[in-house]
Chains A and B, each alone.
Chain A
Amino acid sequence: MGGLQKKKYERGSATNYITRNKARKKLQLSLADFRRLCILKGIYPHEPKHKKKVNKGSTAPRTFYLFKDIRFLLHEPIVRKFREYKVFVRKLRKAYGKAEWTGVERLRDNKPGYKLDHIIKERYPTFIDALRDIDDALSMCFLFSTFARTGKCHVQTITLCRRLTVEWMNYVVTSRSLRKVFLSIKGIYYQAEVLGQLITWLVPYQFAHDHPTDVDYRVMATFTEMYTTLFGFINFRLYQTLNLVYPPKVTQYLDLTSVCKLNLASLARVVATAEEEENQLDLFPTEGEDQENMQAREKEQKEQEAQKRLFEGLKFFLNREVPRESLAFILRCFGAEVSWDKSLCIGGTYEVTDETITHQIVDRPDMDKQYINRYYIQPQWVFDSVNAQMRLPVEDYFLGTTLPPHLSPFVEEKDGDYVPPEKLKLMALQRGEKPVQEDEEEEDEEEEEEDDDEEEDDDVDDEELTEEKNLKKLEGTRAQGKTLAVKVTPGKVKPWETGSVGNKVRLEQEEKAEEKRLAIMMMKKKEKYLYDKIMFGKKRTTREVSSLRCAPAKPTRPSLRPFACRWR
């Protein structure tokens, strides 16, 4: 054998990856700087395919970065800025120590800063890329905008986040792109469709945060720094698409003191300028399937348009106990007029006493003074209506009533999945069927049948007591009904229940089952493993569904009771 001996781990995947510490040393950065750089540049560890090879034979748990990524970081101009900043801090400290105040001033004037524009451009070469990745940015900015000025992060950051989120909401309202909303125990989820991209974000409920001690706020702040830059550019571009000026005028007043006040007022103002554009689909005559597709698309488009005008023409008034910001946002997204008490926050355009108010959103058990010409409904009605893409009947949501369960609009049931009965009911409503009758309900829920029957009987008994005149008649009808139900129809002989043929069929089935069992025995080890896994998953889902189906809480489901109108 001629030639040099090949050494191990000097080629192939071992050289394509680099451990974190080595990367850090190569970049000559401290861990904190390396972390910041990774966050800003979007560098993350990769899981190698053959970990042992990459780890040079060791099986110790290590995280690996792509060597290319690290080499790519070497040329990042921001690294130099980090070093400059470090030097600046050192100089400043020195100047302070020597009490050279002019020096301090000069240093402060020349404080090195950095911009993330080029990084954003590099990470997201196209606008759609950026838009696709904005979910986390939105959630983070909404979280930071709710922070109090407690020193967990810079006040400027909080203000900027607040500004950007308000601008975003403005955009969503103006473009009417909100699609789904969901009240969860964590906060409120919103989903908007912006330029064809579904964007979901989560906003916490309006409470003071109990800041945990085991959270590194520096990491979050670095992310927020990146996100605010990205978010601002996206907002700019989105405003451009609507032919709006960015930054909008409201932000001028958006100083610290008036942040909370102005956002809603601003929402109102921008809506006023928004114009509904009738964008009709261009129709090109095509053939066959395309035509069908086209029709389907057209129908979808129409539905969407209808959803956008869901609350148009309605006039809402928000009581002081409801989450004002989110409700105003949602209602305006669907074209409603919203107002609230003037003493609560600026931006309220009309008073409670306004006779033209159609709905008042209330979240308290009772109200003293009620107007006869408006509905007093609970806030869930708005959310459920948005998700159902139709105005739901208000009766279930009246003041003081027990609310029907609030379902997640993000769940899409597949075959075999458990569908809650409320969803079935809703789907029936959407199809345009009549509101659920008790009979249908009974059909849906066989388990409940008995209970319902009993209760019905009780009801009927009461009636009998009170209306003795109709007793006989009632009895008669009931008897008739019973006789009808018991009517005997000639049954068909099912083939598998008779002797020889049934045996044959069963035998055939058994044979097939055995064949399958034997074939499974002959599977390769790898395939067998996969097969077992798939079957395990299938079994688990069926088990879960069955457990949900016969949950113990089910018989006491309140929402399926016939609704009694308690509205005075």
Chain B
Amino acid sequence: MRLWNELSYFTCWISHQARLCTPPTRLCTPPTRLCTPPTRLCTPPTRLCTPPTRPGSVLHPPGQALPCTPPTRPGPTLYSTHQARPCSVLHPPGQALLCTPPTRPGPVLHPPGQALLCTPPTRPGPALYSTHQTRLCTPPTRPGPVLHPPGQALLCTPPTRPGSVLHPPGQALLCTPPTRPGPALYSTHQTSPQVFFSTQLLTRFSLSPSFLSQDIRNTVGNIPMEWYQDYPHIGYNLDGKKIFKPIRNKDELDEFLDKMENPDYWRTVHDKTTASDIRLSDEQVDLVHRLQKGQFGDVNFNEYEPSVDFFTNEVMIHPVTNRPQDKRSFIPSLIEKEKVSKLVHAIKMGWIKPRKPKETTPQYYDLWAKEDPNAILGRHKMHVPAPKMRLPGHEESYNPPPEYLLTEEERMAWEQQDAEDRKLPFLPQKHSCLRAVPAFSRFIHERFERCLDLYLCPRQRKMRVNVNPEDLIPKLPKPKDLQPFPTTMSLVYIGHSSLVRSISASPTGQWLVSGSDDCTVRLWEVNTGRCMKTLEVGGAVKSVVWNPNPAVCLVAVESTVLLLNPGLGDRLVVSSTDQLITSYEPPEEDKEQAVTWALSEGPEHDNGHRLTLTHPKAVKQVVWHGKGDYLASVMPDNSSNLQVLIHQVSKRRTQNPFRKNKGLVQCVSFHPLRPYFFVATQRYVRVYNLIKQELTKKLMTNCKWISSMAIHPGGDNLICGSYDCRLAWFDLDLSTKPYKMLRHHKKALRGVAYHKHYPLFASGADDGSVIICHGMVYNDLLQNPLIVPVKVLKGHQITHDLGVLDVTFHPTQPWVFSSGADATIRLFT
């Protein structure tokens, strides 16, 4: 019904505006020429009505029965009102008609009894509504029951609604409702005309008048012929008699002989439906040829006839249809109005813009015609231009000098390196001629990496330092001008058998005392290098110090501190020393002391031992006060507060100055002039005022672990040696931080010392060297001390990773003594 509506709609349009709807050109040639007018069409017993589009259709003279081929293209022809669409055909009485649709055969009733297959044409053609044509049949939309003359077999299937058909009695009639013709229907027709050479079509063609008399038509319909394989007949005639197959007893040989001998063999066709051989006539052969070539079957058919515009552009006075115009054709279309108003609104709102005119400016022009070199934007101040690509060197040449080529090992090394670490991003190669140079495989990569560098790599302006390295070296006074200082090794004091931990020179400068791990203390004459005395002390000697005042020597051994009288030199001095010790009068009330004082007697006294101070723990260091009455001893121990003790020899009294010690005490020292006491823990040096009994200063050494400390005889400067190879010089008036850090040594410093008179200081380290520095301290407070290294003294051998263990200056001469782990003491003058 929908289709119908559309059709009526279109016809309506056609009637109104005939010029709009020009009919499709060649398709709708008027039917008058193609087929005989429909009035005549019905008169002959059977007609073949082919749609004008199909070239292969032939008009047959009346009297021929032909199957109906359904129309093919319903599309564009729909609007042409000229198409002959045979919907059903009137058959003359007494004739059996078979209407087979080419594609979809319906179910067929078969052999016994009569089978008649009738399939309706697939699509109801609009041809029926063409006003030019007389109506052939009932309109397809409403096929009412058709009255047939009695005795006639009629097949009439309405396209859409198969109505009931009245059949004459005794005749089997099958009505199949119309099927929906798929597009396949048309495709088979259109694409391959060869299909028609199947038996079905050929039968059609073969139905020439000559054959009619034999009455050998196919009466079974379009069924597989195997069904009749076992029967001697094929189908039945009108009288219900069997139609027998022609006798056929040809074998292969007969076939072959026939092929060889029969001149008409090539035009003989076997018809399965009748099981007979048919010899094609000349016309038929010609027809086959034409169809094979894709030409029209009819020789006389002119396919290029000028088309006659049926709906001309001239408005004719007579309407094509007599239908009155619809009301809606006078009313303006609401849909159109809506559309137009929408467009107008869109234009008003600026949603629809007119097409932009194409730009006419040239692609390239003189961009810098009006250039202003001063017009540099603000951001260009921070602009860092990208560095240019590196220019290639000799090694990149295709034919480099041979020394630029890599050797086999270098090549291996290059291949094993990461791409980032490689010095050259490519392997230098040598090619004998330009022709042999291959493409560089990483070319695109390199360009891409350059691109990445350009937009991804952070840029920074770096000032390239173009300095002469000589200018960096500081200008110092020449060491020659800073003489005297020790320059050469003069004497070696040999005698100890183990590391010499500590040495000390007598205040007169005549004697030298040394303590070693071989449990002896040796006394040497400085000038000759003779060992004057060897004292057994029963333990490794950690520290020896000569009393600055008289000739009392002090030795710290393991857990005891011994006061020795070396008994060398002037008798008077020796005796006065002994007297000093013996003159002690014990006090009335005996206080309990941290150490026990014991007077030596017997052989020990003869050896020189005078007093023994037994400490509770191992003593590491002892120092004398400048006056020679007080001495301090260090027992490094984290666990107790008893780390530093100060002893007074004349009163044999001991006191613990600190209630609490912060950290491990490394070494202590008395101020040479004032009542200050320096305590060095691992990282700090604390300066205490002994009179006020308070902390006055805390020096930050910036070292990890202080090893040794020395105080300038002026008392305002201090040096600290540390195990992390540094020497810190403090100017106590200046700051609590080092005035200078010297990193001269390669290994841990073990000993530092100031000279009493000369502006010299020395440091000894594990690298076996003693470095003498000129350290001038000026009286002018505004002038900083001058520190100049003047000499590196070497001589000690490194044993067990230990080099120089202690250094000390000669009290009067610019000489320095050093004791080492190689069990020697050396004098540098």
Residues of A within 8 A of B (CB): 35, 38-39, 43-47, 49, 63-64, 66, 68-69, 72, 109-110, 117, 120-122, 124-127, 130, 133, 135-136, 139-140, 143, 182-187, 189, 200, 202, 204-205, 207-212, 214-216, 219-220, 223, 232-233, 235-237, 240, 246-247, 321-323, 363-364, 378-380, 402-403, 405-408, 410-411, 420-422, 511, 514-525, 527, 530-531, 534-535, 538, 548-549, 551-554, 556-557
Q: Do B368 and A185 have beta carbons less than 8 Å apart?
A: no
> Nearest chain-A residue to B397 (Cβ)?
A406
Task: Determine whether the beta carbon of A534 is less than 8 Å from that of B467.
Answer: yes
Q: Does B586 contact A (CB under 8 A)?
A: no
Query: In the bound complex, what is the Cα–Cα distance between A75 and B570 (angstroms)?
Result: 99
Known: A186-B440, A553-B402, A554-B402. A407 touches B397 (CB 8 A): yes
Query: B residues within 8 A CB of A551?
Result: 402-404
Q: Is the CB of B454 within 8 A of A518?
A: no
Render B443-454 as a binary contact track against A, CB cut-off 8 A, 1 for contact: 111111011101
Contact count A vs B, C-beta below 8 Å: 271
Give every chain B residue within 8 A of A556 (Cβ-Cβ): 402
Chain A interface SS verdict (over half): mixed
User: Is B758 an interface position by the 8 A CB rule?
Assistant: no
Residues of A within 8 A of B388 (CB): 135, 200
Instruction: Name the CB-closest residue of A to B378.
Output: A68
Establish whether residues A125 and B372, one from each chain, have CB atoms under 8 Å apart when the complex forms.
yes
CB–CB B474/A557 < 8 A: no
* CA of A43 to CA of B377, assembled, Å: 14
Query: In the assembled complex, which residues on chain B have CB atoms less than 8 Å from the CB atom of A403?
Result: 399, 432-433
- Which 9 pairs of residues, A with B, have the shortest CB-CB distance? A551-B403, A553-B402, A207-B439, A47-B460, A410-B391, A45-B458, A232-B364, A47-B458, A405-B401
Nearest A residue to B374 by beta-carbon distance? Answer: A125
Shortest distance in angstroms between B479's beta carbon and chain A's nearest beta carbon? 7
Residue pair B459, A44 in contact (C-beta under 8 Å): yes
A130–B472 alpha-carbon span in the complex (Å): 40
Given A143-B443, A233-B364, A380:B371 Cβ within 8 A? no
In the assembled complex, how far is the CB of residue A105 from the closest CB belonging to chain B, in whole angstroms? 11
Residue of B nearest to A240 (CB): B366
Contact A45 to B474, CB < 8 A, known contacts A405-B399, A548-B403: no
B476 close to A45 (CB less than 8 A): no
CA A519 – CA B479 in complex, angstroms?
Answer: 10
Q: With A136-B450, A521-B744 as given contacts, are A406 and B398 in contact (CB-CB < 8 Å)? A: yes
Chain B positions 351-374 with a Cβ under 8 Å from a chain A Cβ:
353, 355-356, 363-368, 371-373
**Considering the chains assembled together, what is the distance between the CA atoms of A156 and B404 in angstroms?**
42
Residues of A within 8 A of B401 (CB): 405, 407, 420-422, 557
With the chains together, A331 CA to B25 CA distance in Å? 68
Please determine whether A69 and B379 come into contact, CB atoms closer than 8 angstroms.
Answer: yes
State how many angstroms separate the Cβ of B429 from the closest Cβ of chain A.
6
Interface string of B372-404 (1 = CB under 8 A from A): 110111110010111011011110111111111
Contact assessment for B476 and A185 in the assembled complex, using a CB-CB cutoff below 8 Å: no
The reply on B317 being an interface residue by CB < 8 A is no
Q: In angstroms, how far is the closest chain B Cβ from the Cβ of A249?
A: 15
Contact A236–B364 (Cβ < 8 Å): yes
Q: Are B452 and A219 in contact (CB under 8 A)?
A: yes
A530 touches B472 (CB 8 A): yes
Chain A residues near B377: list those with CB within 8 A: 72, 122, 125
Interface residues of B in 781-826 (CB under 8 A from A): 787-792
Task: State the Cβ distance, A267 to closest chain B Cβ, in Å.
Answer: 20
Cβ–Cβ < 8 Å partners of A522 in chain B: 474, 476, 742, 787-789
**Which one, B367, B439, B479, contacts A515 given CB within 8 A?**
B479
Chain B residues whose CB sits within 8 angstroms of the CB of A236 once the complex forms: 364-367
Do residues A184 and B448 form an inter-chain contact, with CB atoms below 8 A? no
With A136-B389, A209-B444, A518-B479: A246-B364 Cβ-Cβ less than 8 Å: yes
Please state if A127 and B355 are interface contacts (CB–CB under 8 Å).
no
Nearest CB in chain B to that of A66: its residue: B382
Q: A120-B367, A185-B437 are in contact. Are A516 and B473 (CB under 8 A)?
A: yes
A65 nearest in chain B by CB position:
B458
Q: Which of A406, A410, A422 gathers most chain B CB within 10 Å? A: A406
A527–B456 CB distance below 8 A: no
Of residues B363, B371, B376, B455, which shows the largest number of chain A Cβ atoms within 10 Å of its Cβ? B455
Residues of B within 8 A of A514 (CB): 479, 792
Report the separation of the CA atoms of residues A235 and B480 in the bound assembly, to the nearest whole angstrom.
Answer: 70
Given A212-B445, A403-B433, A522-B476: A410 in contact with B392 (beta carbons within 8 A): yes
B373 nearest CB neighbor, chain A only: A126
Give complex CA distance A317, B391 in Å: 31
Flag if A186 contacts B458 (CB, 8 Å).
no
Query: Which of B363, B432, B459, B480 has the most chain A CB atoms closer than 10 A to its own CB?
Result: B363
Cβ of B407 within 8 Å of any chain A Cβ, yes or no, is: yes
**Cβ-based interface call for B465 (8 A):** yes
B432 cross-chain contacts in A, Cβ below 8 A: 402-403
B contact residues around A364 at 8 Å (CB): 435
Extra 19 A-B pairs, beta carbons < 8 Å, given A68-B382, A233-B365, A527-B472: A44-B386, A47-B460, A109-B355, A120-B367, A182-B397, A184-B398, A185-B397, A185-B398, A186-B426, A200-B388, A200-B389, A209-B444, A210-B441, A215-B444, A235-B364, A406-B398, A518-B789, A521-B742, A534-B472
